[in-house]
Chain A
Amino acid sequence: NAGVMQNPRHLVRRRGQEARLRCSPMKGHSHVYWYRQLPEEGLKFMVYLQKENIIDESGMPKERFSAEFPKEGPSILRIQQVVRGDSAAYFCASSPLQSSSSTDTQYFGPGTRLTVL
């Protein structure tokens, strides 16, 4: 069973460009979470999605950031008009359906390291 997949692993953008980060959850998982890790800091929650629904976006910046998890395909975290402060590692995690006994555990992908020049 493949783990959580994220791509690209490394992404370099110039200020003002768009960054698109992709996350494919583990097989059978329908809950996706995005976290951001600034240098030398812990992970901070950004958004929680289920298929075609945003459940909790309380950690998302109000502007330039958006996320989706379509019926088909990976979850996408989009950052428009990137600035240097967006440079960070972005982690995706997934968990199974709530009816599962193991829904409490989130399994993480390897992260995407975004560098804004």
Chain B
Amino acid sequence: AQTVTQSQPEMSVQEAETVTLSCTYDTSESDYYLFWYKQPPSRQMILVIRQEAYKQQNATENRFSVNFQKAAKSFSLKISDSQLGDAAMYFCAYRSRSGNEKLTFGTGTRLTIIP
């Protein structure tokens, strides 16, 4: 079974600075998807960024980018120019590309933005 590990329960960053959230996963599959979701205090789950394992290029979405290291099974999220609205829980998630379509989530990292 696949597992997703987020080893940082809490992180904080000064406004306008850069922060990196860590995520590692375990799988025997070669093709899969990885995601970062954001959960603000409203508890709505918001998709931040998505990476397909067969793509070597790291995904980027505006101020959000990932460092995908397939051999190391690592998938970190970098947030540049942090803003107050980035404060939230961030969840890393794994999904197989074939067969079972469920998302497997990590336990989350609570990000605090310091004004």
Listed in ascending order, the chain A residues whose CB lies under 8 Å from chain B are 31, 33, 35, 41-45, 48, 55-56, 58-59, 89, 91, 93, 95, 104-108, 110-111, 113
Task: Determine, out of B37-45, B71-79, B80-88, the stretch whose residues face the partner at the interface.
Answer: B37-45
Interface size on B, residues (CB 8 A): 23
**Is A42 within 8 A of B108, CB to CB?**
yes
Say if the beta carbon of B11 comes within 8 Å of chain A: no
Say if the beta carbon of B64 comes within 8 Å of chain A: no
**Is A104 within 8 A of B50, CB to CB?**
yes
**Is A44 within 8 A of B101, CB to CB?**
no
**Is B50 within 8 A of A48, CB to CB?**
no
- Output the least CB separation between A52 and chain B (Å): 17
Q: Which residues of A contact B101 (CB under 8 A)?
A: 31, 33, 48, 55-56, 95
Q: Which residues of A contact B47 (CB under 8 A)?
A: 105, 107-108
**Is B44 within 8 A of A108, CB to CB?**
yes
In the complex, residue of chain B having the shortest beta-carbon distance to the beta carbon of A43: B105
Contact check: which of A31, A105, A110 meets B43 at CB < 8 Å? A110
CA distance A45 to B37 in the complex (A): 15
Q: Which residues of A contact B52 (CB under 8 A)?
A: 104
Contact check: which of B42, B45, B50 meets A43 at CB < 8 Å? B45
Contact check: which of B95, B97, B100, B108 meets A56 at CB < 8 Å? B100
CA distance A116 to B84 in the complex (A): 34
Say if the beta carbon of B67 comes within 8 Å of chain A: no
